[in-house]
């Protein structure tokens, strides 16, 4: 039976990783947010000149590179949440609820434009 790492477990592992290297002093919210932006840009770079179709049919090597960049983004976001004591799972659930109200399916289905708010 496979075991699954929880978000809490991963947060603890990242915290221990930083502690073991004495990096906590560098992991301010500002620095982590900046690192997150850099890693996001590195992820986008893999798609910069691809067509829509090419972006959906990556080679195995491209897919692995993209996966590793996605992991970097995820891990920096998790470290930032830990630094700011933000429960990402709770806030993500809340944000989905807000988006459901902001973008009612019956008003936005099949459209990339936002519904009018009169």
Contact status, residue 53 vs residue 2, Cβ threshold 8 Å: no
Contact status, residue 18 vs residue 79, Cβ threshold 8 Å: yes
Domain ranges in the chain? 27-105
Separation between Cα atoms, residue 61 and residue 27, nearest integer Å: 31
pLDDT confidence of residue 2: 64
Separation between Cα atoms, residue 45 and residue 38, nearest integer Å: 11
Along the 118 residues of the chain, how does pLDDT read in single tens digits? 667 899 999 999 999 999 999 999 999 999 999 999 999 999 999 999 999 999 999 999 999 999 999 999 999 999 999 999 999 999 999 999 999 999 999 988 888 877 666 5
The model's pTM is 0.86
- CATH class for the region spanning 27-105: mainly alpha
Separation between Cα atoms, residue 23 and residue 69, nearest integer Å: 21
Separation between Cα atoms, residue 62 and residue 57, nearest integer Å: 9
């Amino acid at each position: 039976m496979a075991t699954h790492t929880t978000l809490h477990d991963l947060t603890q592992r990242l915290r221990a990783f930083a502690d073991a290297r004495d990096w906590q002093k560098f992991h301010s919210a500002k620095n982590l947010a900046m690192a997150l932006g850099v890693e996001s840009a590195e992820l986008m770079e893999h798609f910069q000149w691809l067509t829509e179709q090419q972006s959906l049919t990556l080679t195995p090597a491209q897919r692995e590179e993209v996966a590793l960049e996605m992991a970097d983004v995820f891990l920096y976001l998790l470290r930032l949440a830990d630094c700011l004591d933000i429960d990402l799972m709770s806030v993500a659930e809340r944000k989905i609820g807000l988006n459901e109200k902001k973008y009612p399916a019956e008003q936005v289905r099949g459209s990339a434009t936002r519904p009018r708010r009169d």
